[in-house]
Structure 1
């Protein structure tokens, strides 16, 4: 299922096609909602070496469309633990330094910075200069206690971080990143964070489970094909959180994992419709023999979504890794 980038204004969500357009849904998927153009590629993070003309694959529209569901899903319990940890860091009086990997439009900063006390300096990493600009402009300016929040942007490859690159960092954070990494890349990330003694909050990794109400006999087959698509070319997909837990734990970090499901109902119909197109599209890309049945399935699901009759739970996990502080940690 092909997806095309959109050139619409980032503040405007494209009009969602009705169920009669489901057969042409390949062309209506916002870039980022469906299968990536190349295996092993997340739009906002360069995970592989690409040519200089390689284009980003996430549209701001998709990132904005999912921001509310992401914010509602993230685990508040882990934030309580994080606050305690950050409050007790040596050198905290100098403020926090937070690296946001694959920041996209900056939704993690908008969600997290106002939940943390004290001065903060956010380093926003992304491969897309437009998204970096968007994230910097729309970043919060004050913390929970009114302290100042500042930002800087860095463009480039964040999958090859080193402890030296994170020296003095208080927190590394990311959303929807782990599941598009390989085992080697997660080891590299864990080594960088634990080597620098900084905490990692890695949210919204796919868990491989989806619940649709009402159910359909094809649900499980589509889900299985989608999960297989997520695991192509050595990527971890729904296995990523388990692998990350092992990688951080083996390096001495204390790891906690909490569920962070999207709960999508009639109020989130625009997001649900885009998610459905991408979910089914990836399944068909993985198993082309599903195409004919999947077309009917998608049309019926989109009709139910438009009628306000469909509810979806997309399971994710949030991971908090508390590394042992080092002398270089903030």
Structure 2
């Protein structure tokens, strides 16, 4: 994947490959919703694999002689995945934060006792995971092509490295109250996600097969955004981007009228949205 930024635009963020899709303010706006959505059910098998002990250790009890974990975050943005996951894994940890957008890398960080990090500008070209304890991504998998996902799976298999791939769109959005145009907008958005051979909502199923073909055990868990009155700013931004992408795919959609109705419901405190995602953990044989 060359000349394309890493870092999931996420549900509803329009843009073409080769452009910067994620402004730092969008990433900051979505970070709390991402943190609330991430599938904590996948942490126990991940910790068990990383430590070789059932359920893994309590990170707070990890001693200074614990082996250092080297964690690579592809499409890190400003580091929100690392900030969420680092306190939930044993220390010491060293994070390598990868992105092809230097402006986001300049803002990327993760902190904590026993946690260090570095940033690395680049893409999937020549990806080598030798010495890597864990590969992670967030809101990225659905922006990849089948060949790129195969590259990830092959690199993980070659290095014996597990992968935690989070917040991939699942192709399902629920809006309450309903609108007659909801289904058409959702279908057009899904088609937009698949443009140019991208996997879009088919990414998790494809990645599952790619990792399983290489002997990995794959765990999946839902990680939906649940947006209500307290997330009005995020919901508004998501809604505009979601409809814009759908309209780009199908210009016949009456996007302006639909957006106006939905934003009015949001301003009145009536709109609730569930954006479904899936988290995937792939663990190969030791």
Q: TM-score, normalised by structure 1?
A: 0.78
Mapped to 2, the partners of 1:161 and 1:76 lie a distance apart of: 31
Residues 159-198 of structure 1 mapped to structure 2, 5 A cutoff: 159-162=124-127, 165-198=128-161
2:111 aligns to what?
A: 140
Q: Within the alignment, does 1:153 sit opposite 2:124 as a pair?
A: no
Asked whether the 8 Å contact 1:32–1:62 carries over to 2, the reply is no
The structural deviation recorded for 1:93 is 3.3
Give the root-mean-square deviation of aligned CA atoms: 1.7
CA deviations 1:173-195 (Å, max 9, x no partner) are: 01011101010100000000111
SS of 1:135's equivalent in the other structure is coil
Q: In the TM superposition, what is the alpha-carbon distance from 1:134 to its structure 2 partner?
A: 1.1
Give the distance between the partners of 1:273 and 1:183, measured in 2 at CA.
31
Render the CA deviation track for 1:248-294: whole Å, top value 9, x for unaligned: 0000000011000000000000000000000100110000011xx22
Q: 1:57 aligns with which of 21, 44, 47?
A: 21
Matched, 1:209 2:172: yes
Q: Kindly indicate whether the alpha-carbon contact (under 8 Å) linking 2:185 and 2:243 is maintained by their aligned counterparts in 1.
A: yes
Are the aligned partners of 2:14 and 2:21 in contact in 1 as well (CA < 8 Å)?
Answer: no
Secondary structure, counterpart of 2:119 in structure 1: strand
* TM-score with structure 2 setting the length: 0.90
Q: Structure 2 CA distance, aligned partners of 1:222 and 1:267?
A: 24
Q: Secondary structure at the match of 1:94?
A: coil
Matched ranges for 1:143-292 at <5 A = 148-157=114-123, 159-162=124-127, 165-290=128-253
Looking at structure 1, the residues matched to 257 and 199 of structure 2 have their Cα atoms a distance apart, in angstroms, of 30
Q: Partners of 1:177 and 1:231 in 2: how far apart?
A: 13
Q: 1:31 to 1:314 in 2, by over 3 A?
A: closer
Partner of 1:312: 273
Give the secondary structure class of the aligned counterpart of 2:98: strand
**Once superposed, which parts of structure 1, at least 4 consecutive aligned residues long, lie more than 4 Å away?**
30-33
User: Number of aligned pairs?
Assistant: 267
| C-alpha distance in 1 between matches for 2:264 and 2:135 | 41
